[in-house]
Amino acid sequence: MSAVLPRSGVVLGVASLVLSEGMTPEHGREVVRAAVEAGAAAIDTARAYATVDDDAAGERLAATAREIDPGIPLITKAGHYRIGTAAWDADGSADRLRKDALRSREVFGAPPSLLLLHRADRVDDVLASLRVLAELREEGVVEAIGLSNASVELLEAAAGVTTIDAVQNRLGLGVDPIDEYRFCREQGIDFLAYAPFGGPRAAPLATRIPHVAALAMAREASIHRLALAAMIDALPGLWPVIGPTRVESVRDSAAATHEVVDDELRTAFRDDLRSRGVDL
Q: Are the C-beta atoms of residues 170 and 270 closer than 8 Å to each other? A: no
Q: Choose which of 161, 185, 245, 270 interacts with ligand NAP (CB under 6 A).
A: 245
Q: Does 10 bind ligand NAP (CB under 6 A)?
A: no
List C-alpha distances in Å: 159 to 46, 116, 184, 234: 24, 15, 11, 25
Please list every residue from 146 through 165 that binds ligand NAP, using CB under 6 A.
Answer: 148-149
Under the binding rule (CB under 6 A), the answer on residue 224 touching ligand NAP is yes
Q: Residues 11-50: x/- map of binding to ligand NAP (CB under 6 A)? A: --xxxx---------------------------x------
The crossing angle, in degrees rounded to 10, of helices 94-108 and 126-139 is 40
119: left (phi over 0), alpha (psi -120 to 50) or beta: beta
- Which 8-state DSSP code applies to residue 113? S
Distant-in-sequence, close-in-space partners of 138: CB < 8 Å, separation ≥ 6: none
- Interface residues for ligand NAP in 80-119 (CB under 6 A)? 118
The CA angle 140-141-142, to the nearest 5 degrees, is: 85
Closest separation in Å from C-beta 12 to ligand NAP: 8
Residue number with CB closer to ligand NAP (105 or 118): 118
Q: Is 210 in the site for ligand NAP (CB under 6 A)?
A: no
Region binding ligand NAP by CB under 6 A among candidate stretches 34-42, 138-146, 155-163, 244-252: 244-252
Contact assessment for residue 47 and residue 118, using Cβ atoms and an 8 Å cutoff? yes
Residues that bind ligand NAP (CB under 6 A): 13-16, 44, 118, 148-149, 168, 194-200, 222, 224, 241-246, 249, 252-253
